[in-house]
Amino acid sequence: MKDFRDARLLDGGLPHPLFNDFPQRLSKRLQPLLVITILIFSQGTLAAEDGALTLESAMELTLAQNPQLRVFDFRDEALQGQAETAALKPALEIGADIENIVGTGNLQGIDGTELTVSVSSVIELGNKRDARMASIGARRGQLDAERQVEALDLLGEVTRRYIDNLAAQNRLTLAQDAVALARETLQIVQDRAAAGATPEAEVLRAEAALSQAELLVSAEESQLTYAQVALAALWGETNPTFESVTGNLYQIDQTAGFESLFSRVENNPFIMVFASEQRMLEAEVRLARTQSMADPRWSLGARRLQEGGDVGLVAGFSMPLFSATRNSGAVRSAIAARDEVEVRREATLLSLRTQLFNAFQNRQQALVTIDTLQTRTIPLLTEALSETQAAYESGRYSYLEWVTARQELLTARSALIDAASAALRHGADIEQLTAEPLLPPLNDQTN
């Protein structure tokens, strides 16, 4: 079987520096995946040239400008505000009491009024402040994990739309080749008709075939334009500024075995987010438990006695009763939410295994199809077309047989484009599911 090799990393397989300042602080753990995926298509080109867009440039633009990632900055700002609030100690309260006003007898009017001014607050027990701050910190960790998941999803979508552009370019080239073949066919048929070797009807059929081939070019140009618009939309462009994308649709390699790939799935940010969520909910459990310890309230003030004009100090203390009992429901609810995470994680792993197996099997089938088409089908059909054309020109084969041979070759080449784009798309799905490249960099491989 032919060895299809992916384009490898340049500079010894090191990540490109542009990812060092990822605007949304994407985890560095994703960088090798992103760079390897990029260079499979850009073949080392780090910037668009002559209107050609690299996958790296597309990803950079998407990470910098896509609004789906920018919303995390606002969420982070909100958590920062909550952290500032959580770090505050209990507030001091000032109060005033007026007694013995508008009474009867000696207390009529304000003659017997007594004024008390006091300061009060709560004494937090059970490390409630630390628990609040830990809960906010865990939420920020959860937010970072969600940001990584969103970024990985976006980059996967960038890759898929980039592949669509690459495939559309190849289909347009194929349609243009079909026009060239149709023109060549028409010229040969016209020459034979002029020599009286073929009926005029075949000339008309050849002209109709050329017209249909030119119509297909127009359709493929429209599809390419749509693919370009869909790709540019990921970074907010309504009118694409690039004319083409770089890359080789057929540089594809075999991957590791399925079980080896599945062993990487647990490192996927989509799975790691459950660990972050579990840490966040564990902090919520600790916070809920701190509420079971009652916080005493104290007060201290001064009272002026109206009768003698004397001033005295007053102090107060109160303690809520049965706090642990009243808070037991909140603790139970927090524990249940925490324990649910592990169950959802296991269910997600099973779902990801099914998705990975589907992508793996489809990619393997696409690789077999590519190998068969490249090594057997297309070479045989190319030779057959040449022989059929020679036989037609010598009068041994009919026009229909020649056109059929030509169409069979074009159909096979179209199937090759479909298989190659499918293999790349399934490969991108595998990389997104595993959050790792399908193959190690060059410097990790033996020659």
Which pLDDT value is given to residue 186? 92
Provide the greatest CA pair distance for the chain: 138
Handedness of CA 205, 210, 211, 217 (dihedral sign): positive
Which pLDDT value is given to residue 408? 95
Which candidate, 109, 58, 133, 48, places its Cα nearest to that of 428?
A: 58
**CB distance 12 to 32 below 8 Å:** no
Lateral strand order in the sheet of 311-318: 93-99, 114-122, 297-304, 311-318
Q: Please list, residue by residue across 275-304, b when 16 or more beta carbons sit within 10 angstroms of its beta carbon and e when fewer do.
A: bbbbbbbbbbbbbbbbbeebbebebebebe
Which pLDDT value is given to residue 118? 85
Give the domains, in start order, of the chain with CATH numbers: 11-444 (1.20.1600.10)
Backbone angles phi, psi at 366, to 5 degrees: -65, -40
Distance of alpha carbon 32 from the chain centroid: 15
Place of tokens 């030779």: 383
Residue-by-residue pLDDT tens, the chain, 447 positions? 333 333 322 232 223 333 333 333 444 444 444 443 443 444 333 344 567 898 888 988 888 888 877 777 777 778 788 788 888 788 888 888 877 676 566 555 566 677 788 888 888 887 878 888 888 888 887 778 778 778 888 888 898 999 999 999 999 999 999 999 999 999 999 998 888 888 899 999 999 999 999 999 999 999 999 999 999 999 988 899 899 999 888 877 766 788 888 877 877 777 777 777 777 777 778 777 787 777 788 888 888 776 666 777 888 888 888 878 887 888 888 888 888 888 888 888 888 888 889 989 999 999 999 999 999 999 999 999 999 999 988 888 888 999 999 999 999 999 999 999 999 999 888 888 887 665 443 233 333
Written as six digits, the tokens of 284 are 């919520």
Question: What is the tens place of the pLDDT at every residue in 31-58?
Answer: 444 443 443 444 333 344 567 898 888 9
Which pLDDT value is given to residue 82? 79
DSSP 388-436: HHHHHHTTSS-HHHHHHHHHHHHHHHHHHHHHHHHHHHHHHHHHHHHTS
- For residue 22, what are the CA distances in angstroms to 42, 61, 236, 376? 20, 11, 18, 46
**CB distance 330 to 400 below 8 Å:** no
**CB distance 101 to 263 below 8 Å:** no
Question: What is the tens place of the pLDDT at every residue in 367-422?
Answer: 999 999 999 999 999 999 999 999 988 888 888 999 999 999 999 999 999 999 99
Which pLDDT value is given to residue 260? 80
**CB distance 358 to 430 below 8 Å:** no
Question: What is the tens place of the pLDDT at every residue in 370-380?
Answer: 999 999 999 99
Which candidate, 271, 273, 265, places its Cα nearest to that of 435?
A: 265
Crossing angle for the helix pair 269-290 and 128-194, nearest 10 degrees?
160
Q: What residues are paired with 96 via a beta bridge?
A: 117
Supply the DSSP symbol for 265: G
Written as six digits, the tokens of 6 are 């992916």
Which pLDDT value is given to residue 103? 59
Which candidate, 386, 412, 402, places its Cα nearest to that of 205?
A: 402
Question: Own/partner pairs for 179-182, CB < 8 Å, 24+ apart?
Answer: 179/210, 179/213, 179/214, 179/216, 179/217, 181/213, 181/406, 181/410, 182/206, 182/209, 182/210, 182/212, 182/213, 182/214
Which pLDDT value is given to residue 76? 77
